[in-house]
Amino acid sequence: MKHTFETKVYFSDTDNYGVVWHGAYLRWLEMGRVEFCKEMTGLTLKELEQKDILLPVSNINIKYKSSAKLEDIVVVETEVSEYNGFTATFKQTIKSQKTDRVFVVADVVIVAVHSDTKLYRRMPEPLANTFEKEIKCPALV
């Protein structure tokens, strides 16, 4: 399943060159992952935290392809591309709603840790089940 959401580029997202500051894309990517997990599990980040599950990024590979500008509407697409029981990799794209021009593509790897920052040996439920289903679904199509 591919999760999508749209957001408008505000002045606070831009830099002195009049284009979106590179860190704004990272914020939108995180919003995409958070909303994806909420939609798939029914749990918010706060509810996962109450279950002693935190999901930090362990690796991110991002390619900036072009620049969004003030008042553009950007579309953030998020899907799980890999899952091995310990880490989940999200493939994410940020593009123009109007033209489909791609601004950013990223592969983001997350792990699960306890609130004391100790790493889980395996991804805890309900995330493990969700990620397994997501990886198997494309093969059925």
Tens digits of pLDDT across the chain (141 residues): 899 999 999 999 999 888 999 999 999 999 999 999 999 999 999 999 999 999 999 999 999 999 999 999 999 999 999 999 999 999 999 999 999 999 999 999 999 999 887 888 889 998 999 899 888 754 433
Alpha-carbon distance of 25 to 110, in angstroms, equals 17
N-to-C CA span, the chain: 11
Domains and CATH numbers, the chain: 3-128 (3.10.129.10)
Burial group, residue 80, by CB count within 10 angstroms (0-12, 13-18, 19+): buried
Using CB atoms within 10 A of its CB, is residue 60 exposed (0-12), middle (13-18) or buried (19+)? middle
Active-site option among 15, 72, 100, 116: 15
For the entire predicted model, the pTM comes to 0.90
Has 100 been annotated as catalytic?
no
